[in-house]
Amino acid sequence: MYTKTLMKIVIGGACWALVATAQAAGNPENGKLKFNTCTGCHGIPGYTSAYPTYHVPRLGAQNADYIVAALNEYKAGDRKHPTMHANAFSLSDQDMADIAAYVASIKPNEESHPIKGDVAAGQQKAEACAACHGKEGNAPTTSLFPKLAGQHEDYLVKALHDYKAGNRKNAIMSGMATPLSDKDITDLAAHFASQPNGVYVVKD
Ligand code: HEC
Ligand code: HEC
Q: pLDDT of 117-171, one tens digit each?
A: 999 999 999 999 999 999 999 988 889 999 999 999 999 999 999 999 999 999 9
Average pLDDT over residues 62-67: 97
Query: Using a 6 Å cutoff on CB, does residue 99 contact ligand 1?
Result: yes
Atom of ligand 1 nearest to the CA of 158: 17
> Hey, CA dihedral for 126, 131, 136, 137, is it positive or negative?
negative
Query: Using a 6 Å cutoff on CB, does residue 5 contact ligand 2?
Result: yes
Query: Using a 6 Å cutoff on CB, does residue 173 contact ligand 2?
Result: yes
Query: Using a 6 Å cutoff on CB, does residue 148 contact ligand 1?
Result: no
Domains along the chain? 23-193 (1.10.760.10)
Q: Whose CA is nearest to atom 32 of ligand 1?
A: 71
Q: Please measure the distance between the N-terminal and C-terminal CA atoms of the chain and give it in whole angstroms.
A: 43
Tally of CB atoms within 10 A around 35: 19
Instruction: State residue 23's pLDDT score.
Output: 62
Q: Say if CB 198 and CB 123 are below 8 A apart.
A: no
